[in-house]
Amino acid sequence: MGSTFIYSETVTANKSIQVVYEDDEILAINKPAGLTVHADGRTKEMTLVDWIIKNYPDIKGVGEPLTLSSGEVVDRPGIVHRIDRDTTGLLIIAKTQKSFVYLKSLFHDRKIRKEYHAFVYGSLPKDFGTIDRPIGRSRTDFRKWSAEPKSRGELREAETYYEVLKRGEGATFIKALPKTGRTHQIRVHFKAISHPIVADGLYAPKREKILGFERTALHAFSLEFATSQGRILILNAPYPEDFSKAIETFGN
């Protein structure tokens, strides 16, 4: 398999998308904040899928479509996993059906190491720890998930390991490694231990936005996994501008 590491950049809907790695089977991009991965049936904004179809038309038939609760079928070419609209960072896209099936199995079997960086409110009591709380639906808001007692619906196991990278006034800079991949998992888990992610409008709507963030201060920093040829691939996504600025000034 031919492969090349690249840092190229294109712009779509006033949002910059970096391609951080590409080979014959895999495309890895650094997703900007404010870009939804695929349509949800409610909004008409441009999505990452639109960018994929425009720039990589051969990927159009790869993967599996999603049927929404409304019955609408949404194409998700090459999409193996997602990150939230306001989360930045690394996202892998399958370029062939073979690679889609392989990558999907890695995520399902938890054979991909996922590392996120985030700023959370307050000072965590320990420098490292594990949040092991099942996640269900929120009882108060259909958009939200919850790791609190009496969550609604099926409770699914969820585990997040974290380490403190730096401490500062009013917040803590952390590394989070989710073992499972539940929707909003990191956001929900830190909310559950009373240290929600900075500027998270859904899980900390009444908290003051600090450190210059106008969106959820969460970045998908790294993915590590074995390719189908057995080669260990470690991919990193550079910080966006708001993260870089916050880190420079944080704790000083």
Same domain, 202 and 97: no
Q: Which of 23, 24, 58, 84 is catalytic?
A: 84
CB 68 within 8 A of CB 74: yes
Q: What is the pTM of this model?
A: 0.89
Question: How far apart are alpha carbons 172 and 204 in whole angstroms?
Answer: 15
Query: Residue 103 phi/psi, 5° resolution?
Result: -65, -40
Which domain does 105 fall in, by range?
1-111
Same domain, 104 and 124: no
- What is the number of structural domains in the chain? 2
Question: How far apart are alpha carbons 197 and 203 in whole angstroms?
Answer: 8
Same domain, 60 and 18: yes
Same domain, 91 and 171: no
Instruction: Give residue 43's pLDDT band: very low, low, confident or very high (50, 70, 90).
Output: low
169 falls within a domain:
yes
Same domain, 196 and 183: yes
Mean pLDDT is lowest, of 27-31, 62-66, 147-151, for 147-151
Name the pairing type of β-strands 3-4 and 135-137: unpaired
DSSP percent split of the chain into helix, strand, coil, nearest 5: 15, 35, 45
In terms of average pLDDT, the best of 5-9, 38-42, 144-148, 171-175 is: 171-175
* Residue-wise pLDDT tens digits, 207-224: 999 999 999 999 999 999
Same domain, 22 and 62: yes
Mean pLDDT across 124-140: 90
Tokens of residue 38, six digits: 């695929």
pLDDT at 3 over 50: no
Same domain, 96 and 119: no
> What percent of the chain lies above the pLDDT cut of 90?
71
241 falls within a domain:
no
- Across 72-87, b (16+ Cβ under 10 Å) vs e yields eeebbbbbbbbbbbbb
Same domain, 107 and 1: yes
249 falls within a domain:
no
Q: Which residue has the higher pLDDT, 165 or 43?
A: 165
CB 91 within 8 A of CB 84: no
pLDDT at 113 over 90: yes
Give the containing element (helix H, strand E) for 8: strand 8-12
For 46, residues 6+ apart whose C-beta sits below 8 A from its C-beta are 12, 13, 35
Q: Is 141 a catalytic residue?
A: no
Q: Which CATH number belongs to the domain containing residue 40 in this structure? A: 3.30.2350.10
Same domain, 117 and 107: no
Task: Count CB neighbours of 139 within 10 A.
Answer: 13
